[in-house]
Amino acid sequence: MSGESGTLQAYGHQLGLKGVGKDGTSVLEMPHARPSAPVEKLLAELTVEEQVSLLAGSNMWNTVPIPRLDIPKLRVSDGPAGVRGSRFDGPASMNVPCGTALAATWDTSVIREVGELLGREVIAKGARVHLAPTVNLHRTPIGGRNFECMSEDPLLTALIAVEYVKGVQSHGVASCIKHFVGNDTEFERMTIDSQIDERTLREIYLVPFERAVADAEVMSIMTAYNRINGPYAADSVWLLQDVLRDEWNFDGVVMSDWFGLHSTAEGVIAGCDLEMPGPALHRGQKLLDAIAAGQVSIEAVAACARRILELMERTGGLHQPPGAESTRDDVDDLALLRRVSSAGMVLLKNDNHALPLDTSVEMRSIAVIGPNAAHGMVMGGGSAHVTPTRISHPLDALTASFAARGVDIHHAPGCNINKKLPELDTRLTSDVVVEYFASSTDLDAPGTAPAETGTTGTFRILWAGDPLNRRMGDIDFAARFTAQFTPDVGGEWKFSVESVAPVKMFLNDALVIDNTALDRGGSFFGMGKPELVQEISLEAGITYSMLIELRHAPRGMGLSGMNIGAMAPIVTNQRIDAVDVAARCDVSIVVVGTNDDWESEGWDRESLDLPGEQNELIADVAAVSKRTIVVVNAGSPVAMPWLDDVDAVVYAWFPGQEMGDALVDVLTGVVEPSGRLPVTMPRHLEDTPAFEHHPGRNNAAQYVEGRLVGYRWYDTVGK
Ligand code: BGC
């Protein structure tokens, strides 16, 4: 530790953290190196070629097996919103609240329980390593992945992360904490140089990682995409060797973020053990050539291979291949998800006894308004996405709870906040069948049988590799989706397709969309075709046969995907309708926020404003409503210019799959809303610490505000 980390040690001592001496100067308690006889024996038996093969994935989620020595592949799985497993459309997973929601509990014991639940989910997905938690910090409130991260404060982040990791690892599987370090926004994220002075790194951005190593003995770390003061994080000797291994005594596995390794010799020398995903882009034969050329030693290669084998041994996978992937359905875990979800909700304002809602007084009708009311956002977008085992939406949960008390519920969305069409609502579909074919041409050869048949709970699918699990690059397959679609509203429906490979969509045998002629642009990390929207007139309550065909001919990096959107006709002015509803009811609950068009991996938000006409909607509703309760459903801060006009505000974050029931618990007073803000809520983006310097220039993000992150800056400058 540098002498300048006294602040952390003093903090740690106050909190009684392990390994911090009373004088505030002693070093952290280190995990022990663990020499293992079985690992050493295997290492001695492995050829250099075999050791090299271990140093990169075999595909998106697995390492390379070595059958000769009975070494199976090791499976890793995203994180942090749950444990997704090998497929975006695979068996459903339990979906936990987002990082900010977890931190807002300020409750390490409930986080420990969440970690334990996630450990059970890792096992259910046959994986050994969970790619979570995300502990980058909220340098600016508009960071696209802030919802995954926990806080602007390194200590709060550290305390939450430590319990999360301890919980996961208590099941004998590993956490892979990420992204080490300086991946605090999404701007030019694959190449940008995060220029952060050493004191700021050590006192702020490195702290959560350091505590996870020292206090939770985290078994794995993922490097960041960005460069850090020059070299890429995955190549940084200072970061990976000097700080992580020499100072912190980290003895686990360091893996690259996906496609985030850019070198052959440098990464191995720095101690980035595993290139992910596979097959190797920079290792394999290139690494063997680098060894032959004397650019990297066989000892450095063996050190990486040893750590990968040790991780397999520590997680029980040295001779045990990954298990089958399944969905758990455990009522106790569902109850925990509901409890932690409500524990993170923050009551920001409560005037005029607006809450809790009391049905014993004159309250016979509730207006449930807002774009996120019927379809709550339970998580943000990107690699963190999982398919939840179920979703409790606010409108459904409020209706179920209040109908039983004789209160009428009236709903109006009020406005639309989607940048693109929303995902086709699976509640309007039935009999969904997905057939995968071995070749893109199979659909054109009548009678060809599918190689695999299943179903899907989502129409936003990313195939990271071959869906039939045959190979990684140059994937070649076709998929046919059939379903029954029953619109709940009649009129001009909009449908959309956004995909990597050509897609045709039919309703009752009529071609609705064909995007074959479109070129790439935008979607799917730049590899997909832009969204194509078509309108079609449908009748309410009539069931239509839906057919979707996708033909992925061999090309590209082994990634494919398809988003199917659908939007019901909007026949009236949504805001006026909502105001009408509000005026007729005794209470208005307005569920506003963002969604994964706005908060996702890959891009930052541009402003703090609620998207669409939500500010106007709240103001209009508040003007006519007897009581206005605003629920903010967003993963990070939004501006609240209407704060003085409403009676109560509950900040609900992206609270995970049990959102609706948890919200009812808070609104009715069954649960004390004991969440507290883990981030400062600024009024204006211009007032925020990194405003002058974000997003940086010339591919460099200069952290000029230094240690003054979040509240430290507001306190210092007097905002
Ligand atoms: C993300 C990681 C994630 C990985 C695998 C990357 O794009 O940055 O957080 O674990 O993909 O999905």
Say how many Å lie between the CA of residue 682 and the centre of ligand 1.
29
Between CA 411 and CA 421, with CA 416 as vertex, the angle to 5 degrees is: 120
520 CA to centre of ligand 1 in angstroms: 22
Q: From the CB of 622, is ligand 1 less than 6 Å away?
A: no
Q: What are phi and psi of 496, to 5 degrees?
A: -140, 155
Predicted confidence at residue 557, as pLDDT, reads 64
Mean pLDDT across 526-552: 94
Nearest residue (CA) to ligand 1, atom 11: 258
What does residue 123 show for φ and ψ, rounded to 5 degrees? -65, -40
**Residue 499: closest CA among 480, 482, 478, 524:** 524
Pairing mode of beta strands 346-350, 648-651: antiparallel
Evaluate if residue 8 carries a pLDDT over 70. Answer: no
Contacts of 241 (CB under 8 A, 6+ apart): 270, 271
- pLDDT attached to residue 89: 80
> Nearest 5°: CA angle at 104, between 91 and 202?
100
Q: Among residues 505, 557, 580, which one has the least CA distance to residue 535?
A: 505
CA of 9 to the centre of ligand 1 (A): 32
531 lines ligand 1 (CB under 6 A): no
Tokens standing for residue 312: 């397999």
Phi, psi (deg, nearest 5) at residue 391: -130, 125
Q: pLDDT digits over 183-220, tens only?
A: 999 999 999 999 999 999 999 999 999 999 999 999 99
Whether residue 463 has pLDDT greater than 90: no
pLDDT at res. 345: 98
H or E element, residue 429: strand 429-437
Give residue 108's pLDDT: 98
The most confident of 19-33, 351-365, 483-497, by mean pLDDT: 483-497
- The amino acid sitting at 457 is G
Burial code of 84-112, b = ≥16 C-beta within 10 A, e = fewer? Answer: bbbbbbbbbbbbbbbbbbbbbbbbeebbb
d(CA 687, CA 141): 11
Residues 6+ apart with CB under 8 A from 171: 116, 119, 120, 122, 123
Strand order in the sheet with 628-633: 346-350, 648-651, 628-633, 587-593, 365-369, 408-412
Tell me: cis bond preceding 413? Omega within 30 of 0 counts: no
The whole-number pLDDT of residue 523 equals 74
How far does the centroid of ligand 1 lie from the alpha carbon of residue 418, in Å?
24
In the chain the first and final C-alpha atoms are separated, in Å, by 33
What is the per-residue pLDDT for 191? 93
- Active site residues per annotation: 257
- Average pLDDT of the segment spanning 138-149: 97
Q: Please say if the pLDDT value at position 26 is more than 90.
A: no
Which pLDDT belongs to residue 31? 41
Nearest CA to ligand 1 atom 12: 383
Looking at residue 443, what DSSP letter applies?
G
Cβ atoms of 529 and 499 closer than 8 Å:
yes
Q: What is the pLDDT of residue 90?
A: 85
Q: Comparing C-alpha atoms, which of 554, 464, 546 is closest to residue 507?
A: 546
The answer to whether 450 touches 437, Cβ cutoff 8 Å, is yes
pLDDT score recorded for residue 470: 65
Q: How far is the CA of 258 from the centre of ligand 1 (A)?
A: 6
What pLDDT score was predicted for residue 472? 56
Angle at 414 between CA 408 and CA 415, to 5 degrees: 155
Measured distance CA(398)–CA(463) in Å, rounded: 36
CB distance 383 to ligand 1 below 6 Å: yes
* % of the chain exceeding 70 in pLDDT: 93
The share of the chain scoring above pLDDT 90, in percent, equals 83
When pLDDT is cut at 50, 70 and 90, the band that residue 526 belongs to is low
pLDDT of the residue at 34: 67
Q: Of 15-29, 138-152, 318-332, 558-572, where does mean pLDDT reach its minimum?
A: 15-29
For Cα atoms 412, 414, 418, give the angle at the middle one, nearest 5 degrees: 115
pLDDT in tens, 61-91: 999 999 999 999 999 999 999 999 998 888 9
Upper half-sphere CA count for residue 619 (Cβ side, 13 Å): 8
Q: What is the position in ligand 1's atom list of the atom closest to the CA of 383? A: 12
Strands 477-485 and 544-552: antiparallel
Phi and psi at 155, nearest 5°, equal -70, -45
Q: Is residue 631 pLDDT above 90, yes or no?
A: yes
CA distance 141 to 100: 12
Residue 123 has pLDDT above 60, yes or no: yes
**Residue whose CA is at the smallest distance from ligand 1 atom 8:** 257
Rounded mean pLDDT of 38-57? 97
Mean pLDDT of the chain: 92
- Among 671, 676, 623, 618, smallest CA distance to 373 is for 618
Alpha-carbon gap, residue 571 to 92, rounded angstroms:
35
Lowest-pLDDT choice from 271-280, 343-352, 474-483, 642-651: 474-483
- Tell me how far the alpha carbon of residue 591 lies from the centroid of ligand 1, in angstroms: 30
pLDDT at 30 over 60: no
Q: Which of 232-236, 358-362, 675-679 has the lowest mean pLDDT?
A: 358-362
Report DSSP state, residue 448.
P
For residue 69, the model assigns a pLDDT of 97
Edge-to-edge strand ranges of the sheet holding 544-552: 452-454, 429-437, 477-485, 544-552, 503-507, 510-514
CB 418 within 8 A of CB 456: no
pLDDT in tens, 573-628: 999 999 999 999 999 999 999 999 999 988 899 999 999 999 999 999 999 999 99
Q: Which residue's CA lies nearest to atom 4 of ligand 1?
A: 258
Verify whether ligand 1 is closer than 6 Å to residue 258 (CB atom).
yes
DSSP 458-520: -SEEEEES-TTSS-SSS--EEEEEEEEE--SS-EEEEEEEEESS-EEEEETTEEEEE-TTPPP
- Tell me if 78 CB under 6 Å of ligand 1: yes
∠ Cα 612 614 619 (to 5°): 145
3-state secondary structure labels for all residues of 349-374: EECCCCCCCCCCCCCCEEEEECCCCC
592 lines ligand 1 (CB under 6 A): no
pLDDT tens digit string along 570-581? 878 999 999 999
* Residue 572 pLDDT: 83
Q: Tell me if 178 CB under 6 Å of ligand 1.
A: yes
Closest CA to 76 of 241, 295, 312, 290: 312
661 lines ligand 1 (CB under 6 A): no
What are the residue ranges of helices labelled H in 227-284?
237, 265-270
Q: Are strands 365-369 and 700-702 parallel, antiparallel or unpaired?
A: unpaired
Angle between helices 154-169 and 108-124 (to 10 degrees): 40
Tokens of 185: 């926004």
Would you say 443 and 585 are in contact if contact means Cβ atoms under 8 Å apart?
Answer: no
Residue 396 has pLDDT above 50, yes or no: yes
What lies within 8 Å, CB to CB, of 79 at 6+ separation is 130, 131, 132, 133, 134, 176, 384
**Residue 593: which H helix or E strand, with range?**
strand 587-593
How many CB atoms sit inside 10 A of residue 483's CB?
22
The radius of gyration of the chain from alpha carbons, rounded to an integer in Å, stands at 26
Residue 388 β-bridge partners: 93
